[in-house]
Amino acid sequence: MHILSHVGEGDGIGAGAQERPRFRVSDRSPEELRRRLEPWLSGQFPGAEDVRIDSVHAPPANGMSSQSLLLDVRWRSDGRENAAAWVARIAPAEDAWPVYPRYDLERQFRTLRAIAAAGIPAPRALWLEPSGDLLGAPFLVMERVYGQVPPDVMPYTFEGWVLDASAEQRARMQQATIRLLARLHAVDPQRFGFLEPVDSSAATPLGRHLAPEASYVEWIVEGDARSPLLDRGFEWLRANVPAEEGPPVVTWGDARIGNVMYRDFEPVAVFDWETAALAPAELDLAWFVWLHWSFQDLAVMAGLPGLPDFLRVGEVISGYARAGGRPPQDFHWHLVYAAIRHSAVMSRVGRRMVAFGERKPVGDIDELVFNRRLVEKLLDGQWPDWAD
């Protein structure tokens, strides 16, 4: 799990953009968080005594969809001292420019529990506080897991343990993660009916997935500059939608190695289930490839070799088939869909950074999408030179 706390204020994105409001990001001290959380945690332990939080802090490496706190907790029960390490995941404040318009922690909590019950290695979800009364936003608490996570900053294609690993170690990591995806997609989707959207009239699972993604773009640009790249992308997607689609499976939604914790290059925990859905398996496979492509593209732009031989399309598809997965269909369409979905998030993140004064306004709104030229190549039917 990754968190960035952005503090500041900003104005519009480009020329003519409407003036932005000031933004608030929680700046509660660890002591205040401890004071608020200790009584609540005591209520989760009937019969426990002297529940106390020894430390509470935010991890340094993060993304922006939520905030997380690392908690080290002690308590007494039946005359014995107990200790545990947990993570509290807090929904973003509505006035802090969240990345998504709605952050459904209850859905995430149910997904985490159902995924773990199905044998997928997810952190154990312990409690949910849905009201927001305690910390100003809903939050859930889950067990902390230990291991190595491929870094986003700096990307693992620039430096770090994945880049430093041997080709054999990365191959083991790649196939183990692909096997994990195949296991997830083999889970009985009927146990995850709560992932079905309740307000969609689309006839197919892919259609029910595509419609809210298009609505997300409209939410991003509301009162601001439209994105020609995103408009072109959704026009292409609608014009080329697959005639047939695979059966709906439980999809992770954010399937990438940066959301997996590893020990000895084997997955031990899978994080970030806020975009889980019942949809064709291709959504996860294409996202899995595209998110690596996006980091590899950054390395190439920086003049670095990166990892061009890692997570290649042919190897991902053949490895998925060996793991029992159904061969993907219309993979180029799904790669474009992954690229446009990711570009929408990056556009929102870029606009948010401008609004917080973390980068200057741009004349061309699509310069906020750092993989823009790679996305444009995909829309033109081309793949990068370093990809299969």
Q: By three-state DSSP, how is residue 119 classified?
A: coil
Q: Positive or negative CA dihedral for 89, 95, 96, 100?
A: positive
Cis ω on the peptide bond leading into residue 154 (within 30° of 0)? yes
Placement of tokens 């083999």 in the chain: 186
Catalogue the active-site residues.
254
Contact 23, 95 (CB under 8 A): yes
Q: What's the one-letter identity of residue 242? A: P
Q: How far is CA 12 from CA 15, 19, 20, 25, 334, in A?
A: 8, 6, 6, 19, 33
Placement of tokens 């995806």 in the chain: 181
Contact 25, 5 (CB under 8 A): yes
d(CA 105, CA 140): 7
Q: What's the one-letter identity of residue 41? A: L
Q: By three-state DSSP, how is residue 262 classified?
A: strand
d(CA 68, CA 3): 7
Contact 379, 338 (CB under 8 A): no
Q: By three-state DSSP, how is residue 288 classified?
A: helix
CA-based radius of gyration for the chain? 21
Question: 249 forms bridges with which residues in the sheet?
Answer: 279
Q: What is the DSSP string of 115-146?
A: HHHTT---PPEEEEE-S-TTTSS-EEEEE---
